[in-house]
DNA sequence: CTCTGGAAAATTTGATCATATTCTTGGCGG
DNA sequence: CCGCCAAGAATATGATCAAATTTTCCAGAG
């Protein structure tokens, strides 16, 4: 009597699957992570709702998540904005990442499959291409993807989440730094890292991860020292 | 001419100041932190809205924050629940807390004022009273307050937030452990910690914090090993 | 005759929006 | 210079739609 096939015909909305607040969260998160929203810039819920052409309820939920993750902070009583890092903040982040990156790098090396190494090598090549092309956005995305994949390989979800969350804090500043000094002469310990992973040298991989992190963080710290001296 | 006192009379709503989603977040957070919501127990948004006699929007926002903090996880597609820890999870938490607690303890010792030491001693006495009385809830609250005050003294907001967030993960399990073995013969390195802080022995304070953490975590690990062996 | 398995309907739950209410803030007038 | 008023933004409620789970009912097999 009724057509059961009708449902499949009238259902091209498989793309609607992820809820709106999730989509908005992801978009805002990426925009913060890759520095498209400048540190210190104020955001309003209604402004975001208009800009992303969404209702304000999903925007509110996305903002709650991001403030809980430290990617946004309450400014005064009513507004939120991307926080501006201080030199002390960077020292804390360096201290935490020292432990996190080296440990995750070590575990990832112990667990890496050949397929994973192939994929990591591909990502690193994309990073190289972005550096040569001076493509800032692609560099930042690729660099993050490289570390994120290592976190994933490490099979330590809690530590990986802690590491990911720190990216949200220094990401905006990283963008400013790289945008200032250009994508040339960037530190890249990724080659060392890959070589250690291929040979199973987990201690060396931990050292490479730590050094790669340190070089990037030192650049941010130098910039912050300069701008704080200006005041 | 006009009565300025009138304002105070017509304004008994000073308690309305914190927004509802903030209040709900805090209540839920405490209930999770002190194990009043059992690990694995499913929660629904509407159920919570009824139980806390609130609208569902503030409840939704509170749940977003708590899931972002790892205090809740999505269960399937529809429900959220307090996560159950695995033995691997505990190992990760131990690794992270090893350097977090010791570093925060060291910094707190360097910055502690006499007034702060007095307050810490008071908190520790309250913990002792709770242990003697077998008052589980007061013990958990006091123990947390002791560590939270040290985090606060350390003046390292990012690291302190990381440490606080880990409490949300092992808090529910801690409640189960202590509820099982009783509040007697609990580890208490708080006395060592206070003595080191008084004498300015920051290295010793770091060691005391680490050992206090380790003793508590080992108890949780032992329980998890047992229950996983049961399966 | 009873038990089990599956399908469909109904109820419960979640997501989003529109709207009202409250609170902050900035400007204007005394 | 202070206080009041207005505009705008955020919070919170209720309604509405969509989705999922549960329950119920029926059929077939033991």
Nearest residue in A to B98, CA atom: A99
Give yes or no for a contact between A145 and A79, defined as CB atoms under 8 angstroms apart: no
Are B198 and B137 within one domain? Answer: yes
A25 has pLDDT over 70: yes
At residue A17 the predicted structure's pLDDT band, cuts being 50, 70 and 90, is confident
Q: Which nucleotides of C are covered by protein (CB under 7 A)?
A: 12-19, 22-25
Are B30 and B55 within one domain? Answer: yes
Domain extent for B202: 87-230
Give yes or no for a contact between B84 and B41, defined as CB atoms under 8 angstroms apart: no
pLDDT mean over B85-91: 95
Q: How far apart are CA B154 and CA B106, in angstroms?
A: 8
Give B126 to chain A, closest Cα distance, Å.
Answer: 31
- Please name the residue whose C-alpha is nearest to the C1' of nucleotide D20: B78
Question: Is residue A95 in some structural domain?
Answer: yes
pLDDT in tens, B74-84: 876 678 899 99
How many residue pairs from chains A and B have C-beta atoms closer than 8 A? 62
A69/B70 touch (CB, cutoff 8 Å), yes or no: no
Are A60 and A30 within one domain? Answer: yes
Which residues lie closer than 8 Å to B126 by C-beta, 6 or more apart? Answer: B138, B142
pLDDT mean over B167-174: 95
Between residues B27 and A226, the one the model is more confident about = B27
Are B100 and B210 within one domain? Answer: yes
Are B164 and B74 within one domain? Answer: no
Residue A74 host element (H or E):
strand A73-75
Phi first, then psi, for residue A42 (nearest 5°) are: -80, 145
Q: How far apart are CA A43 and CA A21, in angstroms?
A: 17
Are B98 and B212 within one domain? Answer: yes
What does the mean pLDDT of chain A come to? Answer: 88
| 3-class secondary-structure state, position A39 | coil
Residue-level pLDDT at A77: 66
Which residues lie closer than 8 Å to A162 by C-beta, 6 or more apart? Answer: A96, A100, B96, B162
Residues of A in contact with B103 (CB under 8 A): 95
B96/A156 touch (CB, cutoff 8 Å), yes or no: no
At residue A231 the predicted structure's pLDDT band, cuts being 50, 70 and 90, is low
Give A221 to chain B, closest Cα distance, Å.
Answer: 16
Between residues A97 and A231, the one the model is more confident about = A97
With b for 16 or more beta-carbon neighbours within 10 A and e for fewer, the A176-190 pattern comes to bbbeeeebeebebbb
pLDDT in tens, A154-190: 999 999 999 999 999 999 999 999 988 887 777 789 9
Domain with residue B152: its CATH number is 1.20.120.530
* CB contact B65 to A (< 8 Å): yes
How is residue B91 written in tokens? Answer: 């190992």
At residue A130 the predicted structure's pLDDT band, cuts being 50, 70 and 90, is very high
Q: Which of B29, B57, B81 is the endpoint of a domain?
A: B81
Residue-level pLDDT at A47: 87
Domain with residue A57: its CATH number is 1.10.10.10
Nearest residue in B to A91, CA atom: B156
B-interface mutation test, from A60, A70, A92, A173, most B Cβ less than 10 A away: A92
> Structurally, how many domains does chain B consist of?
2
pLDDT mean over A124-143: 93
In what order do the strands lie in the sheet containing A73-75? A42-43, A79-81, A73-75
Are A171 and A146 within one domain? Answer: yes
Residues of B in contact with A101 (CB under 8 A): none
Are B58 and B112 within one domain? Answer: no
Tell me what percent of chain A is helix, strand and coil, each rounded to the nearest 5: 75, 5, 25
Are A96 and A58 within one domain? Answer: no
Structure-token match 């003595």, residue found: B195
User: Chain B window 8-27: which residues touch A at a Cβ cutoff of 8 Å?
Assistant: 21
Residue-level pLDDT at A76: 66
Q: How far apart are CA B81 and CA B65, in angstroms?
A: 14
Residues of B in contact with A159 (CB under 8 A): 92, 95-96
Q: Which of A81, A104, A131 is the endpoint of a domain?
A: A81
* CB contact B69 to A (< 8 Å): yes
At residue A125 the predicted structure's pLDDT band, cuts being 50, 70 and 90, is very high
Are B195 and B116 within one domain? Answer: yes
Question: Is residue A1 in some structural domain?
Answer: no
Q: Which of B44, B61, B81 is the endpoint of a domain?
A: B81
Q: Degrees (nearest 5) of the Cα angle A66, A222, B165? A: 30
Nearest to B95 among A21, A60, A159 (CB): A159
B-interface mutation test, from A60, A96, A105, A220, most B Cβ less than 10 A away: A96
Are B91 and B72 within one domain? Answer: no
Are B115 and B182 within one domain? Answer: yes
Q: Among the listed ranges A215-229, B96-110, B134-148, which one has the minimum average pLDDT value?
A: A215-229
Q: How far apart are CA B161 and CA B184, in angstroms?
A: 30
Give A149 to chain B, closest Cα distance, Å.
Answer: 18
Residue-level pLDDT at A225: 85
Residue-level pLDDT at B70: 93
Nearest to A156 among B60, B61, B92 (CB): B92
- Closest-CA residue to A82 (of A31, A136, A27, A22): A31
- Please name the residue whose C-alpha is nearest to the C1' of nucleotide C14: B78
């Amino acid at each position: 009597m009724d057509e059961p096939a009708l449902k499949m015909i009238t259902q091209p909305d498989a793309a609607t699957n992820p809820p709106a607040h999730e989509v908005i969260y992801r978009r805002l998160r990426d925009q913060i992570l890759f520095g498209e929203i400048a540190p210190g810039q104020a955001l309003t819920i209604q402004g975001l709702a208009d800009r992303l052409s969404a209702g304000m309820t999903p925007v509110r939920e996305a903002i709650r998540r991001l403030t809980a993750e430290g990617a946004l902070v309450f400014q005064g009583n009513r507004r939120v904005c991307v926080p501006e890092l201080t030199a002390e903040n960077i020292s804390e982040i360096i201290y935490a990442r020292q432990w996190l990156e080296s440990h995750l790098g070590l575990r990832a090396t112990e667990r890496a499959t050949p397929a994973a190494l192939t994929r990591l090598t591909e990502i690193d090549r994309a990073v190289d291409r972005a550096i040569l092309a001076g493509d800032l956005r692609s560099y930042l995305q690729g660099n993050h993807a490289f570390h994120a994949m290592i976190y994933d390989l490490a099979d330590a979800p809690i530590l990986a989440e802690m590491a990911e969350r720190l990216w949200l804090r220094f990401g905006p500043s990283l963008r400013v730094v790289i945008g200032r000094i250009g994508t040339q002469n960037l530190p890249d310990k990724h080659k060392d890292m890959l070589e250690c992973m291929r040979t199973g040298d987990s201690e060396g991989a931990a050292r490479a991860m730590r050094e790669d992190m340190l070089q990037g963080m030192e650049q941010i710290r130098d910039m912050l020292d300069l701008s704080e001296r200006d005041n």
